[in-house]
Structure 1
Amino acid sequence: MLFVNCRVLTMDDQHPVAESVAITGDRITWVGSDRDSEGLVSGANRVINGLGRTLIPGFHDAHIHFLAYAASFQAVDCRPSSVSSILDIKNSIEDRAQSTRSGQWIHAVGYSEFDLLEGRHPTRWELDQAAPDNPVRLIHRSGHACVLNSRALDVVGITNSTPEPPGSTILRDLKTGAPNGMLLEMDDFLEGKIPAPTIQELASDVAEASQALASLGITALQDATPSNSISRWETFVALKSDDALSQRVTFMIGGESTTEFLRSGVGRDSKDMNLRVGAAKLMVTKTSGSLFPDVTAIHETVNKLDNKGFQVAIHAVESEAVSAGAEAIALTRASGSQLRHRLEHCSEMPPVTLEQVVASGAVVVTQPGFVYASGRRYLAETAAANQPWLYRIGGLRKAGTMLAFGSDAPVIDPNPMLGIYSAVSRKSQDGDVVAFDESICLHDALEAYTLGSAFAGRMESHLGAIKPGLLADMVLLDRDVTTIEQAELTEIQVNNTVIGGAMAWDIEDQ
């Protein structure tokens, strides 16, 4: 395969731009000018004329929850784009209940109380009205909360007397003390209590989700689900074996499963770039009002995982969580560790916290797409004095911190161009500007979604750039991104997506 007449942005500092790229098998074999490519045309099985459009390395989503994203294709859609009130949610769930047998679970996803007419979360009793004969789970847009109806609460065993697991919250009616259906940070508790889909049930959703990602130019992903286990790893193995999932997958390990992975030896030191084990995921939250786990436990856990040879990816949203994670990573570095630990999200970083993150040497994996999707909410709910500290990618970049971008889908749309647009403009989909001083240039935003993500996943010697010898993962966009206005970034479509030298998406075939 040969691409010619392209604006190639290689992400290779030695040769940053080119016009033509040759692929043999699954590898890039040549990068150069159109004039020098003329002798390669006759030997190419396919020549693609880019017509001056931009060719870049494949987008690499460094933080996604892929199976949840795939499951959302069949779930009741309660995103702000589909519902505007609790009544709308009830009507959508009721419609699904009419075609669902009694006792079967109904899954609904994506609601945002901020965008609902009522400005609040639904309750178990409202969901009961929509589907009294079915257990219902309605997942919040953030992925860190959900609402269960009464039937579902019974099935999972939550009653008036159920204690809250550490770091979790069961919201209750103020008068009776009965659970109102709202659960915060309860995924570990619910794991295994709600029937998981079979491989056969997953396969079609996964294939659809994989194709959707390919249409967005995504060639690799890092699954950051905190409950990832050996059994879920085996699910990914099966999906990859069936060719349902075309993207390269790095599988983060849930913190509770590291011992199991060590004992089994599964995925350790894997050279397979199609499916490999990545970092150990550690959740640090403040949802219940205080840091969980506490600072001492965070330091001990990170040190223990580091000693076992695990790269650690620390979920840290609030400034206290970011600070604690940075401290823990800095301690491993002080003891001589060379492991490439990560901080995920880093949503709030006042100046002192940013300095801690930079000093820690952590890779920051963040989601500028959150500014696009939720900028209006951030400005409404964040004190004006704290707004400059939201998603500080500009400050991190200037300080030399390595950035990687992801979507956290299904929390938001996985389209990389939406995140790239907000990274350079700091604008939301509503036009609100959030911390403009934290903007970065287009090249740096593209790099964070390609080479930066490969670096975060310790794969930069295999992918993330258009360079001879690297894997042939690349994306031809529908225009030259270096010559357009910022606003056009959200309109960009993908013409071709190549994964390992094979065409995973071709706009002409659609």
Structure 2
Amino acid sequence: MLIQRARLLDDTVVDIRTDHHIVEVAQDLAPARGESLFDASERTVIPGLHDHHVHMHSAAAAMTSVSIGPREARDRNGLRTALATAHVGDDGWIRAVGYHEAVAGELDRVALDEVSPPVPVRVQHRSGILWTLNSAGLDRVGLSDHPDGRLRSSDPSWSDSLARRETGLADVSRKLASYGVTGMTDATPDLGVVDVVRFAEAHRRGELLQRVHCLAPGKRILHDDELDLDALTAWIDARHAADAIVALHCVTAAQLVITIAALRAAGSRVGDRIEHAAVVPTDCLDALAELDVVVVTQPNFVAERGDQYLTDVPQDEHHQLWRVGSLIAAGIPLAMSTDFPFGDPDPWAAMRAAVRRTTASGSVLGEQERISARTALTSFFGAPEHPALPRTVNPGEPANLCVLAGTPDDVLRELDAGLVAATVVEGRVVYEQG
């Protein structure tokens, strides 16, 4: 395909010849015989966005789940109403997502039984790492005697009894394509070879418009009550010995500190990642820079959850939350992502959050962490293997591109998904704004 009259971020206007990769970039390229043409009409063309941390199966399941976060359910009565009116899936379950203690306090099987209908119900905490099942649900998974019904997502002793939903992935893919997303990295830790193969086959069939890169089995979720430096160091050593990277889920200061210690003991390697880095104490910045590991973070949570943070987190710790600017200033490689479906899937909203650092109510959280619009945009340009290294529109790069209805100045000023006019994956237009 030949993309004609494409305006790049440096404001030059060029033609771009593609197959699966960018073949040629120059002015006034002559169309080859039989070559398909796409007229960019001097609109801005950038590398397609790569979302560096998503959960595809959870995203598909979330599309048919009931949301019960603070904005939707508000309180215990709202939670009861939401569950009473929720759709029971073909598998016999009500699946609810986005729960936070601000709705009705800490949830266990007894509390959930009081507000749920007499069918199997499972409620996912908005962190994504914990489920609460009611008594009917515990019966269904063979855990009738479980004391509190609080089960970790990563525990296969119960989660393997649930059918993984393959439907809905195409809808997720189309939604992401409409944002200009041309690739995703799935950060789900328990994906197996079968899942990876299915993603590849779905892409080959055209059900998944983008390729999905998977971190499993190199992704590890840490829990504050199970932090074991020796065990973590040994796991990192084993991964590196197998010539593989590690990706470590860190959402608390304790998890980050133990991760830094383990990476120091085992040694870091190119490609190692820290996922989220939701809380970064100032005295961790130099250590992270020395390790040279990539931090993949989600500043969209400042906009989505910032008001709750202002209530729940002590004021003298606010500066530690979802850092971006100070990480970059310290020389720490950084890429951004959305954590879809636990975060909003719109990467442009994540960019705006990194630039503005405003909560839903308009409060500012971490003003010193603001970054420029260009830096926010390019933080979604990285390749899956090198998330902190922005791709460019040059020969040899994958022909994954995003066409935006505006000038480069418009794009950087607005950072808005509404500007996405077309999305190109591997040299083929997979989305055009209607």
TM-score scaled to structure 2, two decimals?
0.91
Residue 37 to residue 331, structure 1, CA distance change in 2 (3 Å): farther
Deviations 1:367-391 (A, max 9, x none): 1111121111122111111111112
Instruction: Tell me the distance in 2 between the aligned counterparts of 1:504 and 1:443.
Output: 25
Instruction: Tell me the distance in 1 between the aligned counterparts of 2:133 and 2:396.
Output: 51
1:109 to 97, 122, 125: 97
2:227 to 263, 279, 293: 293
1:135 to 96, 101, 120: 120
Q: Using the TM superposition, give the Cα deviation of residue 110 of structure 1 relative to its aligned residue in structure 2, in angstroms.
A: 2.1
Query: Counterpart of 1:467?
Result: 394
**SS state of the match for residue 428, structure 1?**
coil
2:159 to 159, 184, 191: 191
Q: Using the TM superposition, give the Cα deviation of residue 131 of structure 1 relative to its aligned residue in structure 2, in angstroms.
A: 5.3
Instruction: Tell me the distance in 2 between the aligned counterparts of 1:444 and 1:19.
Output: 22
**SS state of the match for residue 84, structure 1?**
coil
| 1:309 and 2:243 are equivalent in the alignment | yes
RMSD of the TM alignment (CA)?
2.7
Deviations 1:79-130 (A, max 9, x none): 4554333333333332335x667x812212223333x3x4x24553564466
Residue pair 1:217, 1:475 contacting (<8 A) in 2 also: yes
Instruction: Tell me the distance in 2 between the aligned counterparts of 1:46 and 1:380.
Output: 54
Letter in 2 for 1:384: Q
**SS state of the match for residue 328, structure 1?**
helix
Q: Using the TM superposition, give the Cα deviation of residue 338 of structure 1 relative to its aligned residue in structure 2, in angstroms.
A: 4.2
1:60 to 33, 37, 50: 50
Residue 421 to residue 282, structure 1, CA distance change in 2 (3 Å): same
Letter in 2 for 1:220: G
Deviations 1:150-197 (A, max 9, x none): 10112223355x5xxxxxxxxxxxxxxx42x44455644422122333
Letter in 2 for 1:395: S
Query: Counterpart of 2:209?
Result: 246
Query: Counterpart of 2:20?
Result: 26
Letter in 1 for 2:100: S
Count of equivalent residues? 434
Residue 83 to residue 477, structure 1, CA distance change in 2 (3 Å): farther
Residue pair 1:327, 1:360 contacting (<8 A) in 2 also: no
| 1:8 and 2:2 are equivalent in the alignment | no
Residue 430 to residue 190, structure 1, CA distance change in 2 (3 Å): farther
2:196 to 217, 225, 233: 233
Letter in 1 for 2:21: R
Q: Using the TM superposition, give the Cα deviation of residue 474 of structure 1 relative to its aligned residue in structure 2, in angstroms.
A: 0.8
Query: Counterpart of 1:408?
Result: 339
Instruction: Tell me the distance in 2 between the aligned counterparts of 1:420 and 1:75.
Output: 27
Deviations 1:204-248 (A, max 9, x none): x11111100101111101111011123323432443343211111
TM-score scaled to structure 1, two decimals?
0.78
Residue 465 to residue 111, structure 1, CA distance change in 2 (3 Å): same
Instruction: Tell me the distance in 2 between the aligned counterparts of 1:62 and 1:383.
Output: 30
| 1:282 and 2:223 are equivalent in the alignment | no
Residue pair 1:50, 1:476 contacting (<8 A) in 2 also: no
Q: Using the TM superposition, give the Cα deviation of residue 313 of structure 1 relative to its aligned residue in structure 2, in angstroms.
A: 0.6
Instruction: Tell me the distance in 1 between the aligned counterparts of 2:200 and 2:314.
Output: 46
1:207 to 157, 170, 193: 170
Instruction: Tell me the distance in 1 between the aligned counterparts of 2:108 and 2:260.
Output: 37
Instruction: Tell me the distance in 1 between the aligned counterparts of 2:321 and 2:52.
Output: 20
Query: Counterpart of 1:476?
Result: 403
Residue 24 to residue 184, structure 1, CA distance change in 2 (3 Å): closer
Instruction: Tell me the distance in 2 between the aligned counterparts of 1:70 and 1:303.
Output: 34
Deviations 1:3-57 (A, max 9, x none): 4444413xxxxxx55322413322212334xxx2264599752232344x43211
Residue pair 1:323, 1:356 contacting (<8 A) in 2 also: no
| 1:74 and 2:74 are equivalent in the alignment | no
**SS state of the match for residue 341, structure 2?**
coil
Query: Counterpart of 1:147?
Result: 132
Query: Counterpart of 2:306?
Result: 375
| 1:92 and 2:82 are equivalent in the alignment | yes
**SS state of the match for residue 62, structure 1?**
strand
Letter in 2 for 1:75: S
1:49 to 33, 37, 40: 40
Residue 452 to residue 443, structure 1, CA distance change in 2 (3 Å): farther
Residue pair 1:303, 1:328 contacting (<8 A) in 2 also: no
Query: Counterpart of 2:297?
Result: 366
Residue 4 to residue 379, structure 1, CA distance change in 2 (3 Å): farther
Residue pair 1:28, 1:466 contacting (<8 A) in 2 also: yes
Instruction: Tell me the distance in 2 between the aligned counterparts of 1:81 and 1:479.
Output: 33
Residue 41 to residue 476, structure 1, CA distance change in 2 (3 Å): farther
Instruction: Tell me the distance in 2 between the aligned counterparts of 1:452 and 1:241.
Output: 20
Alignment of 1:295-444 (within 5 A): 295-333=229-267, 338-444=269-375
Residue 401 to residue 158, structure 1, CA distance change in 2 (3 Å): same
- Which of 398-407 and 321-330 deviates more? 321-330
Letter in 2 for 1:471: P
Instruction: Tell me the distance in 2 between the aligned counterparts of 1:316 and 1:100.
Output: 33
Residue pair 2:21, 2:398 contacting (<8 A) in 1 also: yes
Residue pair 2:229, 2:261 contacting (<8 A) in 1 also: no
Instruction: Tell me the distance in 2 between the aligned counterparts of 1:241 and 1:30.
Output: 25
Instruction: Tell me the distance in 1 between the aligned counterparts of 2:6 and 2:293.
Output: 35
Query: Counterpart of 1:277?
Result: none
Residue pair 1:6, 1:19 contacting (<8 A) in 2 also: yes
Q: Using the TM superposition, give the Cα deviation of residue 312 of structure 1 relative to its aligned residue in structure 2, in angstroms.
A: 0.6
- Unaligned stretches of 5+ residues in structure 1: 10-15, 163-177, 255-279
Instruction: Tell me the distance in 2 between the aligned counterparts of 1:215 and 1:432.
Output: 29
Letter in 2 for 1:318: T
Residue pair 1:86, 1:122 contacting (<8 A) in 2 also: no
- Which of 300-309 and 443-452 deviates more? 443-452
Residue 386 to residue 129, structure 1, CA distance change in 2 (3 Å): closer
- Unaligned stretches of 5+ residues in structure 2: none
Residue pair 1:59, 1:219 contacting (<8 A) in 2 also: yes
Matched-pair identity in %:
28
Instruction: Tell me the distance in 1 between the aligned counterparts of 2:363 and 2:385.
Output: 31
Query: Counterpart of 1:264?
Result: none
Residue pair 1:28, 1:472 contacting (<8 A) in 2 also: yes
Deviations 1:54-73 (A, max 9, x none): 32111101111111101111
Q: Using the TM superposition, give the Cα deviation of residue 149 of structure 1 relative to its aligned residue in structure 2, in angstroms.
A: 1.1
**SS state of the match for residue 431, structure 2?**
strand
